[in-house]
Amino acid sequence: MLSKTPKRTNGKKVDDQAEVYVLQLFVTGILPNSLRAIENINVICEKYLEGRYELEIIDIYQQPGLALTKGIIAIPLLIKKFPLPEEKLIGDLSNTDKVLQLLHLSNN
């Protein structure tokens, strides 16, 4: 289930000055929480970061060594790699406000 979503534009011109968010989502196969996390992050990215994000979905069942080297002990896990600082959020990402806080897109 490893997939990398390039900067999405949906046919729209993207401002070259716009900051591109680099995200990694670690999941465990097709378990319900993992599927919800994938759906939720895709909806959030399309709504709030349209055209300016890269999302890599990593299934630790397929790449267990990667989870070990990164020290991941809880899944699903979203890592915001860029813009810095790198930050992490555990869970199915159903709390949009928490995800927006992680992405620094919230006024809270």
- Give the model's pLDDT for residue 91: 96
Please determine, looking at this structure, whether the domain spanning 3-102 carries the CATH number 3.40.30.10: yes
- Give the model's pLDDT for residue 15: 53
Q: Where are the domains of the chain?
A: 3-102
pLDDT in tens, the chain (108 residues): 544 444 443 334 445 567 899 999 999 999 999 999 999 999 999 999 999 999 999 999 999 888 888 888 899 999 999 999 999 999 999 999 999 999 999 876
Apex 107 CA angle, 94 and 43, nearest 5: 30
